[in-house]
Structure 1
Amino acid sequence: MTIHVGFMGTGNFSKRHADILSERRDVNIAAFYGTSQEKADHMAHHYDNARGYDDLVKMLDTEQLDAAYICVPPMSHGSIEQELIDRNIPFFVEKPLSNEADMPADFARQIEGKSLITSVGYHFRYKQNTQTLKNFLELQEIGMITGKWMSGLPQTAWWTDQEKSGGQFNEQTIHIVDLLRFTAGEVKEVYAVFANTVLGKNENDITIADVGTVTLTLESGVIANISNTCVLPPHVHDIGITFYTDDGILSWQPDRVEHDSGTVLEEYNDRDNPYEKENETFIEAVKTGDPSEIQSDYSDALKTQKITAAALKSAHTGQVVAINGDGGA
């Protein structure tokens, strides 16, 4: 059985996923949809038999797709998802789901009504060290959690526009928010403070906050704090999440987990490629009709999206924002 796949978007993440899928004999990369015919054709020429389109409806009418990948900026979501849902085409979508949460909530209801297979690109869930972390946490009592995404400014024009990207907490730090949910449970309340301390002084067209800190109360009663900044020099970063428990300190970073029990320091390293695993899992779900191995489907990812939306609301109003039982603000 060959799965015919179409891509929406012509950026780095479309190519990352397409390169992985191109190694599979059971996948045919059929088409790319881009904002221009030139961009779409440029991506398509890298893959045998793929064609480029600058018209989404024409692409979907022409190609008999079994699955689709949505790899577009936060502000570009909407019509793509709706077309795929209407046509019952399973899809993988890169995070975040949008620059807000209301539209994804509507899509989630439609997806659930159709039992449509979906997967969302929270690739850290597929890493072995994340499973190692979860295994440790099952044996420990969490008291407090701190997370961080400290980095430089991506060289992408739309990224510094708050209305387009939703800001760093929505576009990057959302990975840490998702790990928090994945390992420690759902969030009950959010309080956020954001500011522009450095970047706005030098470049007037930057409308995102360049620093922020968010306090989250989990349903379990655990308190967490997640902070971020994008003022660092290029290629300098500090990304991770730390759990303070009754058995010591558990620290996760993208390639390792450390467990400090006070007497023994254990370190678990890995260099696995979670992008390969998330692609394999999604394609197998489409082939078999069984999505049980998918680590984050659209409805689950919506809960993460609503937390970042609540943080933006809190930063704007200065108030604590409650998250309701289904993950909504």
Structure 2
Amino acid sequence: MKIGFVGTGWFTRTHASILKEIEGVDITAFCGTSLEKAEKEARNWSNATGYSNVEEMLDKQKLDAVYICVPPHAHGEIEAALIDRNIPFFVEKPLGNNEEPNDLARRIEEKGLITSVGYHWRYKDTTNRVLSLLNECRVGMALGYWMGSMPMVPWWRDVNKSGGQFVEQTTHIVDLLRYLFGDVNEVYAAFNNQIMRSKVEGTTVPDVGSVTMKLKNGMIATISNTCILKNSSKVGLEIYSDEGIIELSNDLLRVVSGNQVEEYKEETNPYLAENKIFLNAVQTGDSSKILSTYQDALKTHRVTIAANQSAISGQPIYLG
């Protein structure tokens, strides 16, 4: 399989290093915001060529699939070019920072194109264990968190480019909530910029926020985030049921029932799992094991965009 990458940052290197270990996969192309960046990345691979234009890359190479690992504001034209050419793609979250993914999802559906989105929490064995635990209890509410520091890259702190923390980072927890409990009907958000605007020049993203959601199943969930800390402090989801509390964090699951506490450590590499499943789908044409298609990820994207809209308007947003 011949694979191309659009983007030259951390996610590209993460996925490329995994693909390197999978038999039968050959990374042959990198596209970056400059030819210099793309060629620098390509030099790490014996058969790879660097490009600064997606169309040129697709014209000069016959690729079986493409990985899109770019900032939120850079999405749109890349996906459109791949849809036009019927090339399956894996795209890192978020899908964008605006409403453009709605049209892309429609076109993907019409083409029947295989896609996968990097919501890797869905592929964790601890998440799968939570799914089985939910069969034994009735859940009333959930509390989610993404409490950390501000990534020191200029595009992230520009709300017009990143969409803000809830869109760019906390989307993982929104997606986890949806994966476990289903879709969201209503969103109400309160955001503010308390500290970072005076600390880091050019900061327009809110640095504190809470979003309350009503789910179709009747649950209430609140997910909060901040980027004012010096380092990451708390990321995960707490689930409250008539049997106790389920606490799911990045690498640990805690189940609290009365005085009894059970802990389970994450034992799989979810990045490896999502990559193998996507590539198998491309090879076989069977996408049934992909846990986050573009169309499904769009539902998560709509929740995060609705949160931004609610924070600006001060009114709840109904998703239906």
State the match for 1:211 in structure 2: 208
Cα shift readout 1:270-320 (whole Å, capped 9, x = no counterpart): 242111011000000000000000010000000000000000000000000
Residue in structure 2 matched with residue 94 of structure 1 by the alignment: 92
Instruction: Tell me which residue corresponds to 1:280.
Output: 276
Shift of 1:138: 1.9
Structure 1 spans left out of the alignment, 5+ residues = 325-329
Whole-angstrom distance in 2 between the partners of 1:135 and 1:172: 26
Structure 1 runs (4+) greater than 4 angstroms displaced: none
Q: In angstroms, what is the RMSD of aligned CA positions?
A: 0.8
- 1:42 and 1:290 map into 2 onto residues whose CA distance is 35
C-alpha deviation, 1:205, in angstroms: 1.4
Residue equivalent to 2:32: 34
Map of 1:200-239 to 2, 5 A cutoff? 200-234=197-231, 236-239=232-235
Task: Report SS of the residue matched to 1:205.
Answer: coil
Matches of 1:194 and 1:163 in 2, distance apart? 15
- TM-superposed CA distance for 1:114, in Å, is 0.7
**What CA distance in whole angstroms lies between the structure 2 residues aligned with 1:184 and 1:24?**
33
Identity level (%): 51
Question: Aligned pair count?
Answer: 320
Q: Deviations over 1:206-243 (max 9, x none)?
A: 00000000000001111000000000003x32111001
Distance 1:154 1:229 in 2: 12
Q: Aligned partners of 1:48, 1:273: CA distance in 2, in Å?
A: 26
Matches within 5 A, 1:1-329: 3-100=1-98, 102-234=99-231, 236-324=232-320
Give the counterpart letter for 1:321 in structure 2.
I
Q: Could you state the TM-score of these two structures normalised by the residue count of structure 1?
A: 0.96
Distance 2:91 2:200 in 1: 32
Give the partner amino acid of 1:212. Answer: G
Cα distance, 1:202 vs. partner? 2.6
Deviation string for 1:224-263 (max 9, x for gaps)? 00000000003x3211100110101111001111111103
| Stretches of structure 2 lacking an aligned partner (at least 5 in a row) | none
**Whole-Å separation in 2 of the counterparts to 1:271 and 1:163:** 38
Distance 1:73 1:201 in 2: 24
Q: What letter corresponds to residue 248 of structure 1 in structure 2?
A: G
Cα drift, residue 24 of structure 1: 1.7
SS at match of 1:301: helix
Whether the 8 Å contact between 1:250 and 1:257 is mirrored in structure 2 is yes
1:75-128 residue CA offsets vs partner (Å, 9 max, x unmatched): 00011000000000000000000012x210100000000110000000111010
Whole-Å separation in 2 of the counterparts to 1:198 and 1:56: 39
Q: How far did residue 204 of structure 1 move?
A: 4.2
- Whole-Å separation in 2 of the counterparts to 1:114 and 1:304: 22
Distance 2:9 2:227 in 1: 21
Distance in 1 (alpha carbons) for counterparts of 2:57 and 2:95: 22
* Secondary structure, aligned partner of 1:155: coil
The code of the aligned residue for 2:251 comes to: D
Mapped to 1, the partners of 2:258 and 2:298 lie a distance apart of 38
Distance 2:23 2:265 in 1: 31
C-alpha deviation, 1:140, in angstroms: 1.0
Q: Which moved more, 1:263-272 or 1:237-246?
A: 263-272
TM-score by length of 2: 0.99
C-alpha contact (below 8 Å) 1:74/1:96 kept by paired residues: yes
